Amino acid sequence: MEAILSKRSITESEPVTFSREAVIQLSLAKGEPGWLRDQRLEAWRVFDSLPYPGRTDEEWRRTDLRRLKLERFSPAQEPEARVASLDGVVSGGSGHALQIGEAEHRAGITISKGAGTVYSHADPALAAQGVVFTDLDTAVREHPDLVRQYFMTEAVPATFGKFEALHAACWQGGTFLYVPKGVSVELPFRSFALGAAAGSAGFTHSLIVLEESAEAFFVDAFHSETEAEAAFTSSVVELVLRNDAKLRYVQVQDWGRHVWNFMTERTVLGRDAELKSLQVTLGSKFTKNSIGSHLRGENAIAEMLGIFFADGDQFFDHHTWQLHEAPYTTSDLEFKGALKERARSVYSGLIKVSEGAQRTDAYQQNRNLVLSREARADSIPNLEIAANDVRCTHGATVSQVDEEHIFYLQARGIPRTEAQKLIVEGFFRPVIDRIPVAEIQGFLESAIAAKVGY
> In terms of residues, how long is the chain?
454
Q: Give domain limits for the chain.
A: 2-297, 403-454
Beta-bridge mates of residue 394: 364
In this prediction, residues 254-271 reach a mean pLDDT of 97
Residues 286-332 have pLDDT tens digits of 999 999 999 999 999 999 999 999 999 999 999 999 999 999 999 99
pLDDT of residue 328: 98
Is the pLDDT at 258 greater than 80? The verdict is: yes
Average pLDDT, the chain: 89
Is the pLDDT at 350 greater than 60? The verdict is: yes
pLDDT of residue 54: 85
Residues 97-144 have pLDDT tens digits of 556 666 777 899 999 887 788 888 999 999 999 999 999 999 999 999
d(CA 291, CA 377): 19
Concatenating the DSSP letter of every residue in 249-300 gives EEEEEE--TTEEEEEEEEEEE-TT-EEEEEEEE---SEEEEEEEEEE-STT-
pLDDT of residue 1: 32
Confidence of residue 16 (pLDDT cuts 50, 70, 90): low
In this prediction, residues 68-88 reach a mean pLDDT of 75
- Chain centroid offset of residue 203 CA: 12
Closest CA to 121 of 85, 79, 80, 171: 85
* 194 contacts 90 by C-beta, under 8 angstroms: yes
- Report phi then psi at 416, rounded to 5: -60, -45
Regarding pTM above 0.85, the answer is yes
pLDDT of residue 349: 96
Backbone dihedral region for residue 28 (phi beyond 0: left; psi -120 to 50: alpha; all else: beta): alpha
pLDDT of residue 376: 95
Is the pLDDT at 88 greater than 60? The verdict is: no
